[in-house]
């Protein structure tokens, strides 16, 4: 037989459980969504380039860009330009946005120019890329582009993303 005390305890536990359930079911929906949608992308992008030389050794360059940006459902875009060896210009267009769950989408295009100078308009290779970063995760991705137009594989750039999806 249940004592009065036990019955009362059981009732208050049930009440507490109901309160927790209520909080869980009816959070401030909009505030939660806004917090989840704004994330910080943090890390580095390293552009490594090889400039093939007919005489002598190739020229090798490496540039690192540090990223720490707030990402939201509105797309943010950047252009990062690096040069190497007096003949190559690598242009990286990179875009970021979050979805409703706070997942960051990363995508873009790499343009590889090779010619008489780093200001050349001779576009010899193009690559597109896209990947996603779950909240709290860190991702590394290599994107490769090379001199396709002149079939010179020794002219190339590799863009290395090492980026994390953190709270704002």
Provide the binding-site residues for Ca ion, judged by CB under 5 A: 51-52, 59, 85-87, 114-115, 122, 124
The candidate with the shortest Cα–Cα distance to 50, out of 36, 67, 42, 62, is 62
Instruction: Give the shortest CB-48-to-Ca ion separation in angstroms.
Output: 15
Q: How far is the CB of 63 from Ca ion (least distance, A)?
A: 16
Instruction: Decide: residue 149, CB within 10 A, 0-12 exposed, 13-18 middle, 19+ buried.
Output: middle
Residue 91 forms beta bridges with which residues? 81, 111
Least distance from Ca ion to the Cβ atom of residue 150, Å: 5
87: which 2 tokens? 């003949």
Smallest separation (angstroms) from Ca ion to the CB of 65: 22
CA distance linking residue 79 with residue 87, whole number of Å? 19
Closest separation in Å from C-beta 51 to Ca ion: 4
Query: Looking at beta carbons only, is 76 or 154 nearer to Ca ion?
Result: 154
Q: Which is nearer to Ca ion, 51 or 106 (CB)?
A: 51
Residue nearest to Ca ion (CB): 85
Nearer to Ca ion, 115 or 135 (CB): 115
**Separation CA 127–CA 151 (nearest Å):** 15
Q: Backbone dihedral region of 2: left (phi > 0), alpha (psi from -120 to 50 degrees) or beta?
A: beta
Q: Which is nearer to Ca ion, 59 or 109 (CB)?
A: 59
DSSP bridge pairs for 42: 68, 164
CB atoms under 10 Å from CB of 40, counted, come to 15
Q: Which lies closer to Ca ion via its Cβ, residue 29 or residue 56?
A: 56
């Amino acid at each position: 037989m249940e004592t009065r005390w036990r019955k009362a305890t059981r009732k208050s536990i049930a009440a507490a459980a109901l309160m927790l359930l209520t909080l869980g079911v009816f959070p401030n929906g909009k505030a939660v969504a806004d917090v989840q949608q704004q994330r910080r992308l943090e890390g580095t992008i390293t552009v490594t380039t090889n400039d093939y030389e007919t005489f002598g050794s190739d020229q090798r360059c490496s540039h690192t860009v540090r990223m720490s940006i707030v990402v939201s459902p509105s797309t943010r875009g950047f252009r990062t330009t690096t040069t190497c060896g007096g003949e190559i210009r690598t242009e990286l267009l990179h875009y970021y946005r979050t979805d409703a769950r706070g997942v960051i989408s990363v995508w873009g295009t790499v343009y590889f120019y090779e010619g008489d100078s780093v200001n050349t308009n001779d576009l010899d290779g193009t690559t597109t890329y896209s990947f996603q970063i779950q909240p709290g995760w860190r991702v590394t991705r290599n994107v490769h582009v090379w001199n396709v137009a002149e079939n010179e594989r020794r002219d190339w750039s590799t863009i290395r993303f090492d980026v994390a999806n953190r709270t704002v």
